[in-house]
Amino acid sequence: MYVLFETPAGYALFNILDEGKITSPTSVDDMFNNTSKLHKNIKLKSFENFKDTNEALKAATAIVESKLDKKLKKFLKKQLSDVESAKLAVCDKSLGAAIKNKLGIQCICDDSVIALMRGIRNNLSNLLGDVATEKDLQSMALGLSHSLSRYKLKFSPDKIDTMIVQAISLLDDIDKELNIYVMRVKEWYGWHFPELSKILRDNNAYIKTVLTLQNRNNAQTAPLTDVLPEDLANEVKEAAIVSMGTEISQDDILHISKLAEEVESITAYRAALFDYLKNRMQAIAPNLTHLVGELVGARLIAHAGSLMNLAKHPASTVQILGAEKAFFRALKSRHNTPKYGLLYHASLIGQAPQKYKGKIARVLAAKCAISSRVDAMGEKEQATIGIDSREAVEKRLRELEKYNNGSSAAFTKGQKQTDSTQQHRSKDHRGKVKGANAKYDESADASTQPKRKRDDFSNDKKEKKKKF
């Protein structure tokens, strides 16, 4: 019986001299507890070294995926091809099945084998001897772990784009919270200074003015020019003099100011979060970001669940992501399906005329599907196909706008010709327009007599001869 054991330095093949000692996990543990007789029970048959870290990474990746590597296949074929009815102990059933299918070697994987692997791992340096020292194994294991981690992160976008999903969800929650808080400040402070909300439409300017002004009676002395332009500051001062608001206590001002400070701090954090999301999108999905922007791209990834899931979607699904309810409702009621979902907020669709938004959405969805696949599977960190895709969508948009302008000009020209024809027909042969003073011309009447209509019972028709 033989044991296949994988190490960071290479493949090791051990020979079990006494198979009766591995009938159960307990007997295997007893065998490894007696280190003096260990070499009498298990012996190293062969060891296949890895040439470099890349070869070790390739072998480790194949073992993780339960695949038979070419190097391992060649090694087992060389060592066990001459052995009749050889049994091979492996730690993975799937790997054992692959070895049996490819090489015809019977593989074993049970509780005793797992205990055997654990004992070999604990006594590996003693069993290998001069083939590989413990220090060499540790350094190789460290290098292989770093390489394997980089490989797994590189081909597993789910581990990274979770940050995008959480960031865009948090950004949406912060926007809702900010809107609620700002409206609360305006309603609360509006009892004291209602004219301020009409003068300042910007929420940030309103919050800063409330923190600077406090009580409206301080408008003449407060440094409003530090937070507002001079014309708006003068307008606020004039409105404070004739304000119709009620007086409030200092305790009310204190709580309003605390809420305004909270809004200001949340606004600052939102700006920092948006910068973080922007940088993360540029690093993970540069092509998709260049095509539709950071926010729309992040919402597409979040709605799909991950960048890899988005890459698996066809263009027709990407086009209606975010409008699933309307889509299935339209199918149920046999109405027209929606033309766009989250893509409606992209700048390219916003630039398109209303009648061509559906066409641009279809083109943009196709380019988004291609860009997401390049971002998910590609190795380049800069936008490549996203730049060309955006230019193609913009070109299509210009073509549609040109066609729209040309058809409008043709329609206007035809309308002018129709109006001139009707105006020409409204004139008589002398060139005068017929109006209310025009007389009826009897000479223009038809002079021929109309034909007399035949009666249904007229005698003009020949009577048929009666047959006797």
| Model pTM score | 0.57
Q: How far is it, in rounded angstroms, from Cα 272 to Cα 293?
A: 17
The pLDDT confidence band at residue 123, using thresholds 50, 70 and 90, is confident
Cite the beta strand spans of 175-289 per DSSP E: none
pLDDT at residue 429, as a whole number: 45
Q: Which comes out higher in pLDDT, residue 232 or 447?
A: 232
The pLDDT confidence band at residue 113, using thresholds 50, 70 and 90, is confident
pLDDT of 425 > 80? The answer is no
String of DSSP letters for 381-448: SS-SHHHHHHHHHHHHHHHHHHHHHHHHHHHHHHHHHHHHHHHHHTB-TTSPBP-TTPPP-GGGS--S
pLDDT of 419 > 50? The answer is yes
Apex 205 CA angle, 202 and 211, nearest 5:
140
Q: What tens digit of pLDDT does each residue of 136-145 get?
A: 888 888 888 8
Q: What would the mean pLDDT of 210-220 be, rounded to a whole number?
A: 90
Q: How far is it, in rounded angstroms, from Cα 14 to Cα 123?
A: 13
Measured CA to CA in angstroms, residue 434 lies from 195, 424, 429 at distances of 61, 11, 11
pLDDT of 439 > 80? The answer is no
Q: Which comes out higher in pLDDT, residue 237 or 143?
A: 237
Q: Which comes out higher in pLDDT, residue 12 or 433?
A: 12
Measured CA to CA in angstroms, residue 259 lies from 211, 302, 337 at distances of 10, 31, 45
The answer to whether 70 and 48 have CB atoms below 8 angstroms apart is no
pLDDT at residue 434, as a whole number: 45
pLDDT at residue 112, as a whole number: 87
Count other C-beta atoms under 10 Å from residue 221's C-beta.
Answer: 8
pLDDT at residue 68, as a whole number: 85
The pLDDT confidence band at residue 175, using thresholds 50, 70 and 90, is very high
Percent of the chain at pLDDT exceeding 90: 38
Q: What would the mean pLDDT of 207-222 be, rounded to a whole number?
A: 91
pLDDT at residue 110, as a whole number: 87
Residue extents of the structural domains in the chain: 2-154, 177-263, 285-399
Structure tokens at 405: 């302008």
Q: How far is it, in rounded angstroms, from Cα 292 to Cα 375?
A: 14
CATH number 3.40.50.2300 is the correct assignment for the domain at 2-154: no
The pLDDT confidence band at residue 188, using thresholds 50, 70 and 90, is very high
Apex 117 CA angle, 112 and 120, nearest 5:
125
Q: What would the mean pLDDT of 214-236 be, rounded to a whole number?
A: 91
Q: How far is it, in rounded angstroms, from Cα 424 to Cα 48?
A: 101
CATH number 3.40.50.150 is the correct assignment for the domain at 285-399: no
Q: How far is it, in rounded angstroms, from Cα 310 to Cα 165?
A: 12
pLDDT at residue 452, as a whole number: 56
pLDDT of 409 > 80? The answer is no
Tell me the CATH number of domain 177-263, given options 3.30.70.20, 3.40.190.10, 3.30.420.40, 1.10.287.4070.
Answer: 1.10.287.4070
Q: How far is it, in rounded angstroms, from Cα 129 to Cα 340?
A: 67
For the ranges 45-49, 131-135, 354-358, the lowest mean pLDDT is seen at 131-135
pLDDT at residue 25, as a whole number: 82
pLDDT at residue 251, as a whole number: 93
The pLDDT confidence band at residue 430, using thresholds 50, 70 and 90, is very low
The pLDDT confidence band at residue 433, using thresholds 50, 70 and 90, is very low
pLDDT at residue 381, as a whole number: 78
Q: Tokens 């001897």 map to which residue?
A: 129
